[in-house]
Amino acid sequence: MSALLAVTDAHVAYGKVEAVRSVSLEVGANEIVTIIGANGAGKTTLLSAIMGILPLKGRVAFAGQDLARLDIEDRVARGLGLVPEHRELFVTMNVEDNLELGAFRVEKARAKASMERVYTLFPRLKERRKQLAGTLSGGEQQMLAMGRALMGAPKLLMLDEPSLGLAPIIVADIFRIVTELRAAGVSVLLVEQNAQAALKIADHAYVMELGEFVLKGPAAEIAANERVAASYLGFQHEAASAL
Amino acid sequence: MNTTIMLFLIQDGITNGAIYALLGLALVLVFAVTRVILIPQGEFVTYGALTYASLASGQMPGTAKLALAMGVVAFALDVFAGRKSLHVRLIARSFLANIVLPGIVLALTLYFVAQKPPVAVSIALSLVIVAMIGLSLYRIVFQPLAHTSVLVLLIASVGCHLALQGLGLLFFGAEGQRGPAVLSTAFTAGSLRFTGQSITVYGITIAFIVGLWLFFGWTLYGKALRATAVNRLGARLAGIRTTLSGQIAFLLASVIGALSGILIVPITTLYYDTGFLIGIKGFIAAIIGGLVSYPLTAIAALVVGTVEAFSSFYASNYKEVIVFMLLIPVLLLRSLAAPAVEEEKD
Amino acid sequence: MNDRLPILFFALVMAAIPFIPGMPPFWIVLLDNIGLAALVAMGLVLLTGVGGLTSFGQAAFVGFGAYTTAVLSATYGVSPWLTLPLSLIVSGVFAVLLGLITVRLSGHYLPLGTLAWGLGLFYLFSKLEFLGRNDGISAIPPLSIGGYRMLDPASIYFAIWVAVVLSALLTVNLLDSRTGRAIRALRRGHIAAEAFGVHTPRAKLLVFIHAAVLAGLSGWLYAHLQRAVNPTPFGAQAGIEYLFIAVVGGAGYVWGGVLGAAIVVILKEVLQSYLPLILHGSGQLETIVFGIMLVALLQLAPAGVWPWLTSLLPLRTNGKAPDTSLLLPARIRAAGASEVLLQVDKARKQFGGVIAVNNVSFDVQTREIVALIGPNGAGKSTTFNLITGVLTATAGSISVLGRKVDNAPPQEIVKLGISRTFQHVKLVPDMTVLENVAIGAHLRGQSGPIASMLRLDRADEARLLAEAARQIERVGLADQMHQLAGSLSLGQQRIVEIARALCVDPMLLLLDEPAAGLRHMEKQRLAALLRQLRDGGMSVLLVEHDMGFVMDLADRVVVLDFGTKIAEGTPATIKSNPEVIKAYLGVAA
């Protein structure tokens, strides 16, 4: 049985600078995989390239199918979802419209069920469903971004820095929901600077430095690695104590 | 000042303004969705008007052939773009939309032209022809440039304007044309005389504005279009194809343009290059609305129309100068109101 | 300089062309037209390609030049040579008037604005009585030197091409100068340029005037070539065509303008003479082809023909190393001044309902490295922007050496000796490292645009470049000095930004995440450099996420969380501060 997502020997260039070099990665079914690393290590670049936002040299296979010739929209339709770092919400539209559009490629009946599920996961969104997305707080916007991605019924959800700029208590909430997603059969590829929190919930982890993976393995093993502890855990960049 | 004259000028201004409002709305729509500043909107007006007028007078409009020619190019681009993974279904769909449909329309046009078609048929054919041209224009010119800057898109847009206007001269000649009125009744209220045509103009403008409001507020596709306008990447991540949104926007814009042309060609004589000037006035309204606000654009269009009517009465020589220079204080206000600040995040 | 040689060669070739035996007079007419178009296109290159301001309205400035001389020389009998400065002044004055409005417009409003006034002025030309309305003005006297009257296209040829070569030379000179660097930085946004003292609206207005004056010159020559003017060649269509010329040639290159003019004028001629034969039509067939070609060009070769052509030639980009022995006067530092260099007092910044910086107070002493740390979104970059004048504080005050600088624009802050780097690198990617760094020394040079065009700025320029080269060597990038900034790795680009900031000769250096993207060794070198700067008397305020780097380097640490200062102290006390651990560090170190 092959992995749900398999990236082989991927290179991504930003102009002339190669931001990701020779990276290989696998995410299995029902699995949380995290990529940790410092600012500018190339984590966001890698996710964008897997999603098709940036051109990638190498092979990306999803559910056994090569993604090379598929646009972003087709990848979404095949069950790959991304919650980007900047969330990219439709800020002048209300919460419900944002969610409804998340299911643009899903048939109506299923969209309805998805909406119920999202509202159960994020009761806050249901309370605010007629509010404009741009007027939500940072944490609520993150929830809406995740909710919108879930409306597309993804098999794999990629989350880029979901804890960015959020209060510790909300970060805890978001990470709890990520584990619930796994329980519901959605795999998660999580990019985080908050290494501690990420390693706690992940099954597997990759450590990225200057565009390359320098370490990979089961999350518990990575968390115990001395070098990782020194570089990423000793002094945390984020509110790691939240968990 | 004589009240009758004033009322007459206001009525004239509102009739013109209604047309500018339609065009302005289309421009705002296209810009918001595709970031294209649609200079060739004026050519949609000309093509719609002159195709209608030609058909009504039993002449073969060159636009019908142009639609087929552009369809062939669009189909070729589709095949070329999909050469690595040729999906029979996609190619067949492209063939139907880009070649079979314009082919049928061309055949119908040839059939009807010989027997001076009724007004309704002329209108329908004109609208379909211009809509096909609009769609192909998006496919051929703007879809390949979708990732570039607003400026590149603007320059390309100007290029389209040049080419389409030149073709307009080729198809319709340098002579002006007029078309038959859509509604030829008239009635008077007090000292004002309302023609059926001006009533049609008001009616259709209002219908379109309400229609657009319903479309954007209540349908999934309308919302998808708005979503693309608000956040292109966000829309793509939701699975909304940018090209689909672009096609819908161009379809609406070309239909609106052609319809505007059909509405005015019974009132004023239209030349192959008149559309550009009319389009630019819709533009002024759109810019006053900041290229984002629909209601502001509609109101601004009425102001532009009224200013034009009054200046053509009092200073007819300087009518165009006044209308175009109206833009300068507007731009000044716009730039004083909101100096652009670059994003810098924590 | 060696890059002037090809220009000399070009001038000689152009001078020789009319003497070629059997040269058809028609070709000379074409060359005249090419020269006229090239003048306008050259201005557009500076305006659009280099400065990033797209104008569809240049034809109107040609009109100003042409009509000024037409009215004065044909109606009032003024000598054409006297009308030359007047034509240029009229174009220039209208450029100032229109430019004051236009250059303030952002993004796509600007080209639309130019399109609108281009159309408006065209109608004005064709309606004004004293400009002869649609008929225009005829019987314009020819140019004459002594008794030699330039009556035919062959005789005015020299006047046109002398103007083209001189204008190209002046324009190239302008670009290769202090002012030129400021202009070239415009396209990449104004924040970085302003942080080093460039008045961006003034720089934009300058290119606007330059382009308008070149267009006016073209108009003046046109009037005396045709000996008659009417509104047609000054309409929107012509304005669009000039832009087309610039895009075809290569909008970023002065010689691209000349090349573009040649291509388009010749093409137009060919199309006009052959298309009607092929298509059996009448009227503006060439515009159809033009429009289609413009679109095709944008899709296939958006950079234009000139860069494609030069890439075929084996051109050296050797770039001479500046003579680093030349010195700029150092900043006069008030002796025995207060120990507090920077004082931030209850600074507050609100964006709508969000408080990004909430009553934050801290100071930076002389010879001190202070680190600002905190989670993403804690308000660190906003604090930087408040200090450097990019943003104005909602409340509170900021003083430098005891003097309040509230609401001072970035250009004033940098004069006080505060320079900065940016979290998102803001270099001009198609300029060399040396040129980018030299922008940092902008305020330490005096030469204006006129001096630059006439090359009277060389001594000043050499000192600026020497300073830039010294700072590049200091940060250890001497080998990359002549490479394009965009070709460097992100980490190196951050170091280039530091060199640029050092060119200010600052008292306080503000660094926004300088270590991000650096390798271990590079980080150590950077730390050593910063310590050396401190020991030399400079202060440093830095935002950084790499705690190892910060704790090792900083004398003092200020911790922000949700816009509020939660702690301040030496690295050792911060590491053990329970609140900091809770909000930021996560676990006790």
User: A69 falls in which pLDDT band (50, 70, 90)?
Assistant: confident
Chain C CB contacts of A168 under 8 Å are: 583
C-alpha pair distances (Å), C148 with each of A125, C123, C143, C144: 85, 37, 8, 5
Alpha-carbon gap, residue C92 to C94, rounded angstroms: 5
- Nearest by CB to residue A152, choosing from B230, B231, B238, is B238
Contacts of residues C127-133 at CB distance under 8 Å and 24 or more positions apart, as own/partner, are C127/B317, C127/B318, C127/B321, C130/C71, C130/C75, C131/C67, C131/C70, C131/C71, C131/C231, C132/C230
The per-residue pLDDT for C168 is: 93
Contacts of B32 (CB under 8 A, 6+ apart): B226, B229, B291, B292
Cβ contact (<8 Å) for C581 and A164?
no
Q: What is the pLDDT of residues C375-395, one digit of tens each?
A: 766 788 889 899 999 888 888
Beta bridge partners of A205: A34, A217
Could you tell me if residue B135 is inside a domain?
A: yes
Mutate to test the interface with A, among C376, C488, C497, C574 (most CBs of A within 10 A): C376
HSE toward the beta carbon, residue B111, CA cutoff 13 A: 8
Mutate to test the interface with B, among C108, C426, C513 (most CBs of B within 10 A): C108
The per-residue pLDDT for C317 is: 54
Average pLDDT of chain C is 86
Alpha-carbon gap, residue B49 to B54, rounded angstroms: 9
| Residue of chain B minimizing CA distance to A108 | B220
Q: Percent of chain C beyond pLDDT 90?
A: 39
Mutate to test the interface with C, among B28, B158, B284 (most CBs of C within 10 A): B158
The per-residue pLDDT for B229 is: 86
Chain C CB contacts of B170 under 8 Å are: 279, 281, 283, 285, 288
Contacts of B231 (CB under 8 A, 6+ apart): A88, A89, A90, A91
Buried b (16+ CB within 10 A) or exposed e, B112-129: bbeeebebebbbbbbbbb
Lowest-pLDDT choice from B37-46, C236-245, C463-472, C525-534: C236-245
User: A35 falls in which pLDDT band (50, 70, 90)?
Assistant: very high
Who wins on pLDDT, C76 or A2? C76
Chain C CB contacts of B344 under 8 Å are: 191, 381, 385, 390, 422-424
Who wins on pLDDT, C414 or B346? C414
Cβ contact (<8 Å) for C294 and B169?
no
Q: Phi, psi (5° rounding) for residue C414?
A: -70, -30
Can you give the pTM of this predicted structure? 0.81
| Residue of chain C minimizing CA distance to B289 | C109
Who wins on pLDDT, C236 or B232? B232
The per-residue pLDDT for C581 is: 75
For residue B127, pLDDT over 70 is answered with yes
For residue B343, pLDDT over 70 is answered with no
Who wins on pLDDT, C499 or C119? C499
The per-residue pLDDT for A120 is: 93
Cβ contact (<8 Å) for B318 and C123?
yes
User: C589 falls in which pLDDT band (50, 70, 90)?
Assistant: very low
Contacts of A155 (CB under 8 A, 6+ apart): A4, A29, A63, A79, A80, A186, A187
Q: Phi, psi (5° rounding) for residue C147?
A: -95, 0
Lowest-pLDDT choice from A102-116, B92-106, B196-210: B196-210
The per-residue pLDDT for C588 is: 38
Alpha-carbon gap, residue A23 to A10, rounded angstroms: 5
Chain A CB contacts of C551 under 8 Å are: 235
Q: What is the mean pLDDT of residues B308-318?
A: 84
The continuous run of DSSP H or E covering C558 comes out as strand C556-561
The Cα of B309 is separated from the nearest Cα of chain A by a number of Å equal to 37
C128 touches chain B (CB under 8 A): no
The Cα of A167 is separated from the nearest Cα of chain B by a number of Å equal to 15
Alpha-carbon gap, residue C5 to C9, rounded angstroms: 6
Q: What is the mean pLDDT of residues B158-168?
A: 90
| Residue of chain C minimizing CA distance to B329 | C101
Alpha-carbon gap, residue C264 to C385, rounded angstroms: 47
Q: Are strands A17-27 and A5-14 parallel, antiparallel or unpaired?
A: antiparallel
The per-residue pLDDT for C283 is: 60
Cβ contact (<8 Å) for B148 and C247?
no
Find tokens 């225009």 and name the residue: C136
Who wins on pLDDT, C251 or C208? C208
Q: What is the mean pLDDT of residues B133-160?
A: 89
CATH code of the domain made up of C24-310: 1.10.3470
| Residue of chain C minimizing CA distance to B38 | C112
Average pLDDT of chain B is 86
The per-residue pLDDT for C465 is: 93
Q: What is the mean pLDDT of residues C552-557?
A: 92
User: A243 falls in which pLDDT band (50, 70, 90)?
Assistant: very low
The per-residue pLDDT for A236 is: 39
User: A238 falls in which pLDDT band (50, 70, 90)?
Assistant: very low
C-beta of residue A37 within 8 angstroms of C-beta of residue A208: yes
Q: What is the pLDDT of residues B39-65, one digit of tens each?
A: 899 999 999 999 999 999 889 999 999
Q: What is the mean pLDDT of residues C534-549?
A: 87
User: C2 falls in which pLDDT band (50, 70, 90)?
Assistant: low
For helices B150-172 and C236-249, what crossing angle results, to 10°? Answer: 130
User: A242 falls in which pLDDT band (50, 70, 90)?
Assistant: very low
Alpha-carbon gap, residue B281 to B42, rounded angstroms: 10
Domain coverage including residue B107: 3-172+216-334
HSE toward the beta carbon, residue C374, CA cutoff 13 A: 27
Q: What is the mean pLDDT of residues C76-103?
A: 90
- Nearest by CB to residue C284, choosing from B151, B169, B324, is B169
| Residue of chain A minimizing CA distance to C379 | A165
Cβ contact (<8 Å) for B346 and C294?
no
The Cα of A100 is separated from the nearest Cα of chain C by a number of Å equal to 28
Chain C CB contacts of A38 under 8 Å are: 516, 545-546
Could you tell me if residue B210 is inside a domain?
A: no
The Cα of A193 is separated from the nearest Cα of chain B by a number of Å equal to 15
Q: What is the pLDDT of residues C164-210, one digit of tens each?
A: 999 999 999 999 999 999 999 988 778 889 999 999 889 999 999 99
CATH code of the domain made up of C340-585: 3.40.50.300
The per-residue pLDDT for A233 is: 56
Q: Phi, psi (5° rounding) for residue A80?
A: -105, 130
The Cα of A62 is separated from the nearest Cα of chain C by a number of Å equal to 30
Cβ contact (<8 Å) for B238 and A76?
yes
Who wins on pLDDT, C430 or A82? A82
Could you tell me if residue B97 is inside a domain?
A: yes
Chain C CB contacts of B335 under 8 Å are: 101, 104-106, 109
C-beta of residue C539 within 8 angstroms of C-beta of residue C342: yes
Alpha-carbon gap, residue B345 to A137, rounded angstroms: 17
Q: What is the pLDDT of residues C386-440, one digit of tens each?
A: 999 988 888 899 998 888 888 888 999 999 999 999 988 889 888 999 999 999 9
Q: Percent of chain B beyond pLDDT 70?
A: 94
Q: Percent of chain B beyond pLDDT 90?
A: 39
The per-residue pLDDT for C337 is: 54
The per-residue pLDDT for C175 is: 92
Who wins on pLDDT, C318 or A19? A19
Alpha-carbon gap, residue C469 to C486, rounded angstroms: 18
For residue A48, pLDDT over 90 is answered with yes
Could you tell me if residue B196 is inside a domain?
A: no
Chain C CB contacts of B327 under 8 Å are: 113, 116-117, 120
Structural domain total, chain B: 1
The per-residue pLDDT for B2 is: 79
Looking at chain C from residue 544 to 583, which residues have their Cβ under 8 Å from any Cβ of chain A? 545-548, 551, 562, 581-583
The per-residue pLDDT for C295 is: 87
For residue B88, pLDDT over 80 is answered with yes
Task: Outline where C227-341 has alpha helix (H).
Answer: 236-249, 254-279, 285-300, 305-312
Pair of tokens at residue A46:
């890698």
For helices B274-288 and B3-34, what crossing angle results, to 10°? Answer: 80
Give the residue extent of every domain in chain C.
24-310, 340-585
Could you tell me if residue B342 is inside a domain?
A: no
